[in-house]
Structure 1
Amino acid sequence: MAIKELLKEELSNSLRMERDYRRALAKLPRGCLVKKIIRGRAYYYLAYREKNRVRFLYKGCKMEEREIAKYRDAKRFRAQYRKLLSNVRKQIIFLRKAIRAKQAV
């Protein structure tokens, strides 16, 4: 019985981690910055999904390096959080199966 209690505690921790990862993903700026070169000039657009379409929002021809770095970091963090979220979801599925499993004789 002590093992089941431990599994339940681990499941609650995993659910909390999943919630935290989702919140962190929601706080990141949406989309990614795209640099298009048209007639030798660089233009920056924010590419993001809206329903089933990809939208491009014009950000300007000159952007501060700080702003570009913000979107670059957000893209990197988004990939990390998605990977962590995927691992936590697999762990939750495993723990739920283990808690429901019948005890071996």
Structure 2
Amino acid sequence: MVVIKGVLQDELERQNRMLRAYQKKAVLLPKGSVVNKNIRGKEYFYLQYRDGEKVVSKYIPNNEFPVINSKIEERKKIDKIVSDIKKEIKFIEKALKIKI
């Protein structure tokens, strides 16, 4: 039983390291989503995100759109991974609390 507990503790440490690494990556990427607006027949792209209770829209020039859009997609993937890691951590912590 001690072996299992040791393996779970090692896994918990590994998950915590991964969580910190992914959170550091996420901070460097833009948050929010890309919204396109049609103004006078032309299409314009905006980065929308929340700042407290306000919704902020920032214009994205056409030449920067592909780069920012790919960064937003990467951020969404990282956020999903972070969510999964947090669930794993909860599961492992519960398993460690069970008396064997």
Identity of aligned residues (%): 34
Residue correspondences, number: 99
TM-score (norm 1): 0.83
String of CA shifts for 1:35-59, please: whole Å, max 9, x gaps.
2111112333221211122111234
Structure 1 residue runs without a partner (length 5+) = none
Q: Which runs of 5+ in 2 are unaligned?
A: none
Match of 2:99 in 1: 102
Structure 1 residues 87, 76: CA separation in 2 closer, same or farther (over 3 Å shift)?
Answer: same
- State the distance in 2 between where 1:43 and 1:73 align: 17
Give the TM-score taking structure 2 as reference length.
0.87
Moved over 4 A (4+): none
For the aligned residues, what is the CA RMSD? 1.5
Q: Give distance in 2, aligned partners of 1:47 and 1:15.
A: 30
Other-structure match for 2:7: 6
Distance 1:84 1:30 in 2: 15
Structure 2 letter corresponding to 1:34: V
**Considering only CA atoms, is the larger Rg found in Structure 1 or Structure 2?**
1
- The answer (yes or no) to whether the contact 1:32–1:71 under 8 Å persists in 2 is no
Using the TM superposition, give the Cα deviation of residue 17 of structure 1 relative to its aligned residue in structure 2, in angstroms. 0.7
